[in-house]
Amino acid sequence: MVRIVARGDDAGACVAANRAVEQAAREGVLKNASVLACGPALADAAERFKTLPGLCIGLHLALASEWDRLTWAPVSRHPLLTDSRGCLQQSPAHLPHTTEAIEAMLLEADAQLGALRAAGLEPAYMDEHMATSAWAVPELKAPLAAWAKERNLPWPSLPGVPGEGSLIERLKTCPAGDYLYVNHPSFPDDDALLMGNTDLPLQEILEERDTDRQLWLDLAFIENVQFVSWREIL
């Protein structure tokens, strides 16, 4: 059996993303939603997702706010994490690497976890928005892993689906095993129209994320593949 941990990221960033996650969970095969606890649409996400008991919620720990107009600030308001806009840095590459800064990031992780729970969403796992510790601040990785372990919050990983081409094409020849597939579903309207920056034009983002949304619906017709939540794997 091929099992795919189906994960949609950036829920809570905007209502358009929340709507897409909700549709993909109700009508498609999406089983996991990684939620930005500092996102401006967190309350909307909580309202929508509480009626989806089969949807596994994760803390999508964010230390960056990449868009020019759709932004989010650190829940902790820690000055080491805040840029001139009063938001999180636009790129994790702009984060400091000092011991004090790492401590600030862990405090922010606590604040975001608390905000997610206060909204009524209990995470079964965590991951990182823009994979901060994987490339931008490697000094964060070990302390963050210890932080997650202390809070009994799994930080799991699996290999991606092997092969080339679209996910549907790759699944036709995929060996048996467990894999992770992540995308960013959103409708191309509403507050999603606030996304974009100088490196990623709005129209390109809207098209890509609407395709991501539709993929979860199309995959409902794929045979011999089981789409699962992290809860089932863990």
- pLDDT tens figures, 179-221: 999 999 999 999 999 999 999 999 999 999 999 999 999 999 9
Residue 156: count other Cβ atoms within 10 Å of its Cβ: 14
pLDDT reported for residue 1: 92
Segment 130-152 shows an average pLDDT of: 98
Written as six digits, the tokens of 108 are 């922010």
Residue 65: count other Cβ atoms within 10 Å of its Cβ: 26
Closest CA to 151 of 106, 184, 205: 106
Residue 34, judged by CB atoms within 10 A of its CB (0-12, 13-18, 19+), counts as buried
pLDDT reported for residue 125: 98
Closest CA to 212 of 63, 29, 73, 1: 29
Residues 6+ apart with CB under 8 A from 18: 11, 12, 41, 44, 45, 48, 49
